[in-house]
């Protein structure tokens, strides 16, 4: 009873949140050595890192579900950063993968729509980071497709067009952007960044984590650790330290 009464008279501590919104590359980011897990480790005791990755999704579907994930009534004000990481599925070739394919112009429009929605619930553009799809290693991905009885259903040059569109949207909307497609190809052989030609390897996850932290550090470096270090708690009067 005493605990319930104490809780009732004190406001719930609203933990800051970083929301990762994307496709399978985001969904898988909390696996061992994943980029999302690395980010969560860096930010432990400072904010929650929330994985909202949805394998196979494109921006057409993402645009529809974003208002079900982030609203004013579910604490949008506690969001300190949002990543929007789509394009690997949108850029699938229309003739060979019509279910996931989204035309280039619609892809750009969908990104803009999601940014506008976030702004409408008071997640300002300075807290939004767009991430382009990574490059596609065609020979490795073709093996994956052939194993499923399919033809190669993506092309790196096409993925690059979507990456360029993502960068342009960021410029027009005033958000940060991480151009993974370009950054990974600065190293001539980018295949080591990918596990199957499309998804990230351990090295690719590490690369993305480092690049993303460079974007986030200036936004999040001032966040304090929540609750005092245990040695600083007054053990004779813990209420004075913790409440």
Determine the average pLDDT of the residues in 185-206. 93
Predicted confidence at residue 1, as pLDDT, reads 43
pTM to 2 decimal places: 0.92
| DSSP state letters, 28-50 | GGGSTT-HHHHHHHHTTTT-EEE
Mean pLDDT over each residue of the chain, to the nearest integer: 92
d(CA 57, CA 4): 42
Q: Flag whether pLDDT at 109 surpasses 90.
A: yes
Binned at pLDDT 50, 70 and 90, residue 240 comes out as confident
Among all residues, which ones are annotated catalytic?
24, 196, 199
Could you give the domains of the chain?
17-222 (3.40.50.1110)
Phi, psi of 19 (to 5 degrees): -105, 125
What is the reported pLDDT for 186? 93
Quote the radius of gyration of the chain (alpha carbons, Å).
20
């Amino acid at each position: 009873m005493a605990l319930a009464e104490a809780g009732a008279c004190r406001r719930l501590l609203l933990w800051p949140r970083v929301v990762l919104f994307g496709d399978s590359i985001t969904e898988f980011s909390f696996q061992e050595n994943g980029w999302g897990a690395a980010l969560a480790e860096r930010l432990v005791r400072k904010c929650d890192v929330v994985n909202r990755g949805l394998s196979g999704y494109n921006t057409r579907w993402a645009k529809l579900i974003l208002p079900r994930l982030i609203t004013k009534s579910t604490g949008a004000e506690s969001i300190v950063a949002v990543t929007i990481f789509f394009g690997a599925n949108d850029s699938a070739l229309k003739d060979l993968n019509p279910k996931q394919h989204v035309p280039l112009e619609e892809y750009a429009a969908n990104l803009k729509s999601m940014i506008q929605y976030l702004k409408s619930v008071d997640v300002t553009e300075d807290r939004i980071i767009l991430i382009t799809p990574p490059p596609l290693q065609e020979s490795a991905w073709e093996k994956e497709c052939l194993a499923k009885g399919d033809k190669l259903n993506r092309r790196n040059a096409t993925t690059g067009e979507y990456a360029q569109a993502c960068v342009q949207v960021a410029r027009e909307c005033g958000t940060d952007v991480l151009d993974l497609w370009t950054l990974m190809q600065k190293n001539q052989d980018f295949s080591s960044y990918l596990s199957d030609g499309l998804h990230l390897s351990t090295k690719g996850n590490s690369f993305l984590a480092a690049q993303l932290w460079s974007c986030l550090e200036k936004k999040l470096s001032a966040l304090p650790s929540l609750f005092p270090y245990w040695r600083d708690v007054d053990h004779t009067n813990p209420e004075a330290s913790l409440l």
